[in-house]
Structure formats: C-alpha cells, structure tokens
Amino acid sequence: MSAERSRTPKDDRSAIDKPPARSGESIDQIRLIPESALAQIRDQLEKEQLRAENLQREMLYLQADFENYRKRVASEIEARSAEGKLNLLSDILVIADQLELATRAARENNGTKELAEGLAMTLANLNKVMQAHGLTKIEAVGHQFDPKLHEAVERVPRDDVPEGQVIEEVRAGFAMGEKVIRPSVVKVSCTTISKKGGGAEVEE
C-alpha cells in the first residue's frame, strides 16, 4: 500500500484546522498592539476630552457675559431715554408755570374773559400732555407737609387746621412714578414760628 493511501482521516482534519501562515511571516511573528501604545492613546483621549470640556465651559462663560452685556446696554438705553424725557418735562414745566401765572393775573386784574379762558384751556391741554407722558401733579393743599414732596417757603400761624398742614400751594410739584421731578412749593400751618437758619421750616 502506498504512503498516500496509508493517511488516516484524522491526519486530513489536522491539515484543514491548521491556519495557513502568512506569506513571509510565521504565526509567532503576529503581535498585538503594545500596552504602552494603548496607554498613550488613552492619555490622548483624556486630554482631548478635557480640552472639549474646557471649551464648552468657556463658551458658557462667554454666553453669560454677552447676556449681561446685553442687559446692561438695554438698561443704559432705558436710563438715558428716561433722563431725556425728564429734561423735556422739566422744560415744559417752566411753560406751565408761566401759563399758570398769566391765568391768575388775567383773573385777578379783571382781564378779558376770553383771555382768561384761553389761557386756562391752554394750561389744561398742557397738563393733559404731561399726564400722558407719566407726569402727575403732587397733592399739596389739605395734606400734611412731607419734606419728600413739599418745600415750605412760609409758615402761617393757624388755629383752625392741624399744625404742619399745607394751606396754600405757591407752585405746583410734579412726579413721575416714584420719582419727584420737583417738589410743591407750599405754605404750611403752624402754632409757633422758629427762625432756624433764616428760612421757614415745619416744626415737628
């Protein structure tokens, strides 16, 4: 019997299961990635992840800074607009004072009825314009003196009203919201008069 015929089926299976060697390379020469190289890759990935986190944090800081800047600019614009509005209204108040004085003079000096009515109508329209822009008149006569709202120029002894009450308004005061544009110039009742500092003031 020849050698080829003497080979058993077991020998044939071994030949099939054995992986073929690469051209010019034995099985022992196949190597895995070195541990040192894997460590370098992991270190590089950690660095890139840290860099990405830092960039994201910086982006959030920039976004917050921009939002604060936007709010600050909007606040400054609003403040400047309010300041300009106040300046305009202050100038208008001067005209209102002149109209008020002219109306009083026309009525007290027996001026023509038409003139007095015309001045009164003009003053009323001007007051409407000021109110439309948020300017309101400060209540004075009949109210207790308030140094935040009123400016006393004279104290008048009176027994028929409580002490410290505004009995006459010399010049109207105005406010816009909580802000006093100018206080009301008033005369205040008192029982005694004190001349401190050469000016009139309400005794408490």
CATH number at residue 149: 2.30.22.10
Q: Is the pLDDT of residue 187 over 90?
A: yes
Residue 107 within any structural domain of the chain: yes
Asked whether 190 and 159 are in contact (CB, 8 A), the reply is: no
Asked whether 181 and 175 are in contact (CB, 8 A), the reply is: yes
For 135-169, write each residue's pLDDT tens digit.
888 889 989 999 999 999 988 888 888 889 999 99
**109 and 168 assigned to the same domain:** no
Domain count, the chain: 2
Q: Is the pLDDT of residue 105 over 90?
A: no
Q: What are residue 135's DSSP bridge partners?
A: 176
Which residues span the domain enclosing 190? Answer: 136-198
CA distance 133 to 139: 18
Nearest to 167 by CA among 147, 193, 185, 149: 185
CB atoms within 10 A of CB 91: 9
User: Which of these three, 133, 157, 186, is where a domain ends?
Assistant: 133
Residue 90 within any structural domain of the chain: yes
The average pLDDT across 63-71 equals 86
**72 and 128 assigned to the same domain:** yes
User: Which of these three, 92, 115, 133, is where a domain ends?
Assistant: 133
- Confidence band of 185 (pLDDT split at 50, 70, 90): very high
CB contact set of 176 (below 8 Å; sequence gap of 6+): 85, 86, 89, 134, 135, 136
Instruction: Name the residue with higher pLDDT: 117 or 188.
Output: 188
**160 and 174 assigned to the same domain:** yes
DSSP 8-state class, residue 144:
B
CB contact set of 2 (below 8 Å; sequence gap of 6+): none
**142 and 117 assigned to the same domain:** no
The average pLDDT across 1-23 equals 51
